[in-house]
Amino acid sequence: MTFLKFQDRNIHYQLKENNSEKIIIFIHGSGGNSKVWTNQFQIDLKWDFIAIDLPNHNKSDIFPNISLDLYVEVVRTVINVRRYKDIVLCGHSLGGAVIQAYYYKYPSEVSGLILCDTGARLRVSPRIFESLKADYEQFINSLPNGAFYRKTPKEIIEQYLNEARQESADITFRDFSICDEFDTLEKTSEIKIPTLIICGTADKLTPVKYSQFLREKIEDSMLVLIEQAGHMVMIEKPEEVNNAIQKFITEYQI
Ligand code: COA
């Protein structure tokens, strides 16, 4: 297991090393953890890969106050374990907000972005907050309807739900609050680096419209819509996501 210290606390991350000067850093969404990226570690590229457990998630320590900026600084600390020539940030949902915020704060440090089932504004339905407050297990049990394509195999959904059960209702609530406050619609056209936008066509939480907006505003971008996938596209259709990432890296010669 790989840990590093941030503000005297442990941050856990998964690492696949190829001794490369190039790296993709994967950031999970609300109430998730680094394991959602397990399939992406199979991408056929001789790059290094890191998937982070954000503070208070999975094996990372508890931090008293979490915020979008704390998440950004954690990602930066992990990146700096080694000197990389090219850094591509890949974020899902809340993770997409983290990597956009990272780019706006440190634009010269990033070579590319992969925005996966996310948006430039992530308002959260009051029903999600109510459900999280009322009964966490019921919230988890409602996820198959909201977060997955209706025909996604049960084993894939169950595996994710079991991971989500390990996280706390309070942390998931705080993650969604960060999403709810995130609104960079006015700034999106400032993104000037190659950007891959991926969205499941059946995504109900961050609908295709959000990804189309990103595609229109980010000059140097490509949009890949993936059929028969909902909000959890990287676990619902891993092969398609991996192919899209490989094609993006190759075509943009990052
Ligand atoms: N990209 C492009 N357009 C966006 C956007 C984004 N990221 N976020 C919102 N918009 C658009 C909406 O489509 C809408 O456009 P319209 O007026 O042409 O229909 C407008 O901006 C305002 O929408 P929104 O910010 O969503 O506010 P709202 O008060 O209408 O609705 C919710 C609030 C929470 C009910 C709604 O956002 C929703 O259903 N969200 C999806 C479910 C959810 O909770 N997802 C969790 C995300 S982490």
For 158-169, how does the pLDDT look when each residue is reduced to its tens digit (9 = 90+)? 999 999 999 999
- pLDDT category, 81, cuts 50, 70, 90? confident
224 within ligand 1 shell (Cβ under 6 A): no
Between 208 and 79, the more confident residue is 208
* Whether residue 1 has pLDDT greater than 80: no
Ligand 1 atom, smallest distance to 128 CA? 44
Tokens of 163: 């991971």
Alpha-carbon distance 10 to 13, whole Å? 10
| Average pLDDT of span 10-26 | 96
| Average pLDDT of span 2-27 | 96
> Which residues, in sequence order, are CB contacts of 182 under 8 Å at separation 6+?
68, 97, 101, 121, 122
In terms of Cβ atoms closer than 10 Å to its own Cβ (0-12, 13-18, 19+), residue 64 is exposed
> At 112, phi and psi to the nearest 5?
-165, 160
Residue whose CA lies nearest to ligand 1 atom number 46? 124
Longest dimension (CA), the chain: 48
Alpha-carbon distance 146 to 154, whole Å? 14
| Percent of residues, the chain, with pLDDT higher than 70 | 100
Residue whose CA lies nearest to ligand 1 atom number 29? 123
Q: pTM of this prediction? A: 0.97
**What are the Cα distances from residue 3, in Å, to 18, 62, 241?**
19, 14, 27
120 within ligand 1 shell (Cβ under 6 A): yes
Give the distance (Å) from ligand 1 centre to CA of residue 119.
10
- pLDDT category, 134, cuts 50, 70, 90? very high
